[in-house]
Amino acid sequence: MTLKLGVIGTGAIGQEHIRRCSHVLQGAQVVAVSDINVEGARAALQRLNIEAEVFENGHDVIQSPNVDAVLVTSWDPTHEEFTLAAIAAGKPVFCEKPLAMSAEGCRRVVDAEIQAGKRLVQVGFMRPYDAGYRALKKVITDGDIGEPLMLHCAHRNPTVPENYTTPMAITNTLIHELDVLRWLTNDDYKTVQVVFPRVTSKSHSQLKDPQIVLFETQKGVRIDVEIFVNCAYGYDIQCEVVGEEGIARLPEPSSVQLRKEARLSNTILVDWKDRFIEAYDVELQAFINDIKAGQLTGPSAWDGFAASVAADACIKAQNSGAIEPVEMPPRPAFYN
Ligand code: NAD
Ligand code: NAI
Ligand code: ISE
């Protein structure tokens, strides 16, 4: 049986996901799309050579009897509304990160899903599907470096648009680390502080860039994450775990080493689309397969909520300058 997908939001990642679901992955077909820019949606389908119905409103995609499952790839503030509507329609939904703009919003999704009595939500946290992060986690869980003591991480984008603001460094960018570092260390955040270095001249008045986010975890591990979204030189994700017996580093994406004109060099990627291309393929194939098998197993609404609890504390810390607590309620049995 081919799973019929509806995609809400045909921007950068919406088009990427439509492309992979149509031309790369097995078992699904995109049959409906919507975007507030309807002409943009039509043009995207034409470019990708895909025939699908174009709706003016995301809710019509969700309600369409032709649609079995929904991908939410529209702007961050729309995610909660569309995910709640998909749950109400009883349809599985893959929602790009963040699940909602605050922990309160994520909690509404969690409560609706529990009420529905069945897992219907997968959040687009793709890093746990990345081969490099999986290899790093194996080193840690195999005990190869002993107990982790410190993590040094960086999340760098070459540039961001003018509408990207200081809190978005947390809700739109750091949210990936907020998810993957919990998974990687099997730990939870206890406190957070945000420190602002000198601002790069490449930023604008609404964005303090870069930022350094400092965590203490429940197990006493210290984590520093540099977020630098106008770093200019490339798309660069770093993660180094310092343990009692050694240090493990996230592998660099492979590239040919070049000796030329008295220089030794490697290429650095510039786009998240390329850096995590395989992880996106794997996460969405898992979503498709899991729906057919009758049970979603990927990053859950609870994982989306957990990341947003930490994100709320980070935003508080951005504003207060103080060390703020991260208060995570116990996980409901539904998500065990
Ligand atoms: P984008 O601005 O290119 O695309 C967003 C699209 O959503 C636009 O075409 C916009 O017109 C449309 N849209 C906005 N409101 C809508 C509505 N109510 N109904 C239908 N369409 C609507 O942005 P993007 O880079 O594609 O990001 C989209 C989402 O994907 C964001 O939430 C972002 O956080 C997420 N994202 C995730 C990753 C990842 O690595 N997992 C990477 C990029 C983006
Ligand atoms: P696992 O079950 O071996 O270990 C993950 C542990 O991390 C669990 O105890 C879980 O509760 C915990 N965790 C803490 N924070 C988390 C967070 N924010 N997100 C997810 N888990 C968190 O898990 P595994 O097999 O390594 O997979 C981890 C994630 O990646 C899951 O979401 C899984 O569905 C997904 N995945 C699954 C693949 C598969 O082939 N089944 C492939 C790649 C990823
Ligand atoms: C974007 O939405 C993503 O999710 C990328 O992975 C991230 O690096 C970038 O900062 C976000 O804007």
H-run or E-run covering 143: none
Mean pLDDT of 205-220: 98
- The residue whose two tokens read 């921007």 is 11
pLDDT of residue 96: 98
Q: Cα of 74 to ligand 3 centre, how many Å?
A: 13
Q: Which protein residues are within 6 Å of ligand 3, measured from CB? A: 157, 172-173, 176, 229, 272
pLDDT of residue 190: 98
Mean pLDDT of 249-277: 98
Torsion sign, CA atoms 85, 30, 55, 299: positive
Q: Which protein residues are within 6 Å of ligand 2, measured from CB? A: 128-129, 179, 182-183, 186, 282, 286, 297-299, 303, 306
- The residue whose two tokens read 């660069």 is 236
Q: Ligand 3: which residue has its CA nearest to atom 3?
A: 173
Atom of ligand 3 nearest to the CA of 175: 4
Residue 120's pLDDT band (boundaries 50, 70, 90)? very high
At residue 127, the 3 state secondary structure works out as helix
Average pLDDT of the chain to the nearest whole number: 98
Share of the chain above pLDDT 70, in %: 100
Distances (CA, A) of 74 to 11, 83, 129, 276: 7, 11, 22, 19
* pLDDT tens column, 270-305: 999 999 999 999 999 999 999 999 999 999 999 999
Report the predicted TM-score, pTM, of the whole model to 2 decimal places: 0.88
Q: Are 159 and 175 in contact (CB under 8 A)?
A: no
CB atoms within 10 A of CB 281: 17
Q: How far apart are the C-alpha atoms of 250 and 272, rounded to whole Å?
A: 16
At residue 37, the 3 state secondary structure works out as coil
Q: Cα of 88 to ligand 3 centre, how many Å?
A: 28
Q: Are 308 and 103 in contact (CB under 8 A)?
A: yes
Token pair in block for residue 9 = 């939001």
pLDDT of residue 268: 97
H-run or E-run covering 123: strand 121-123
Distances (CA, A) of 131 to 127, 278, 283, 299: 9, 8, 12, 16
pLDDT of residue 47: 98
Helix 301-320 vs helix 175-185: crossing angle, to nearest 10: 120
Q: Are 14 and 35 in contact (CB under 8 A)?
A: yes
Residue 237's pLDDT band (boundaries 50, 70, 90)? very high
Q: How far apart are the C-alpha atoms of 101 and 320, rounded to whole Å?
A: 19
pLDDT of residue 90: 98
User: Which of 272, 274, 275, 277 has the most ligand 3 atoms within 8 A of CB, as the residue to mutate?
Assistant: 272
Mean pLDDT of 21-26: 98
Mean pLDDT of 66-84: 98
Q: Which ligand is nearest to the CA of 126?
A: 1
H-run or E-run covering 291: helix 277-293
Q: Ligand 2: which residue has its CA nearest to atom 35?
A: 298
Q: Cα of 182 to ligand 2 centre, how many Å?
A: 10
User: Has the ipTM of the complex gone over 0.85?
Assistant: no
Q: Which ligand is nearest to the CA of 227?
A: 3
